[in-house]
Structure 1
């Protein structure tokens, strides 16, 4: 039996009004998008429950273990945007040349910090784009009315960076 290491199954970016801004699946062809949309929605209550007890740290750590295979981790930005990473504990085959990956690998909250920092950097770079208006992606307008239409982030550069982060992450990687 070949050994396997955890990998990212899904990265979700959720807006401050709990609207999904972006969802990436890894590998996309093997994942059911609707299942992961439900999983991302299920963790929103956990963010709300932990929010009053949080200090300066933005890392929410393990939000929930879905089953013995999938675990969800969360991060909150200063603007209220949430990053959720779903980790597949049996994600991909271990690289036999890497001594770290040949042993049985567990997962600590700290293992995901580089991924969350990279996600936050990608989001900041998106916000720095003068042509990106974050209010266009909010389901609620400035006067409190409901907005209809797409609220998804469509920036190709942002989407490529999210995919790069999801593919590059592995337990023990310090910089992505």
Structure 2
């Protein structure tokens, strides 16, 4: 499975971006930013209801399916997968987001980590890449 991941702060600034295909990085960045508008819309609609971190599929294009996840602290995870991967089920996407959230939590739990700063950790990057390959 080819996937791209963005972790976005509560202020909508990118903390971490993994572009699976560097040739299409600009297009992926556009999709990440477009997805943020939908995440904000969905999060404001669910403010009074039971909160579910998994926001589901935000939208689809000819090439990609874009999924969203938002933590209680308003950290947003955007996942972009190939539309050709029709075998990917919602339950699997939920598990990917849970793994990404656990990895982010482990990273941010480090006392030397500065919250809301871009992530440049090589071990974090390696772990995120492993999650995407699974």
What TM-score results when the alignment is normalised by the length of structure 1?
0.69
- Structure 2 counterpart of 1:60: 55
Task: Give the 5 Å matches for 1:39-118.
Answer: 39-54=31-46, 55-67=50-62, 69-90=63-84, 105-118=86-99
State the alpha-carbon separation in 2 of the partners of residues 159 and 107 from structure 1.
23
Task: Give the 5 Å matches for 1:119-134.
Answer: 119-134=100-115
What CA deviation, in whole Å up to 9, does each residue of 1:45-87 have, x standing for no partner?
10111112322210000001022x3110000011111111101
State the alpha-carbon separation in 2 of the partners of residues 73 and 66 from structure 1.
12
Higher helix share: 2
Q: 1:158 aligns with which of 117, 124, 127?
A: 124
1:33 aligns with 2:25: yes
When the two chains are superposed, the root-mean-square deviation of aligned CA atoms in Å is: 1.6
Which structure 2 residue ranges, 5 or more long, are not aligned? none
Q: How many residues align?
A: 131
Which structure 1 residue ranges, 5 or more long, are not aligned? 1-6, 92-104, 138-151, 169-176
Q: Contact 1:8/1:85 (CA < 8 Å) preserved in 2? A: no
Report deviation, 1:9.
2.6
What TM-score results when the alignment is normalised by the length of structure 2?
0.89
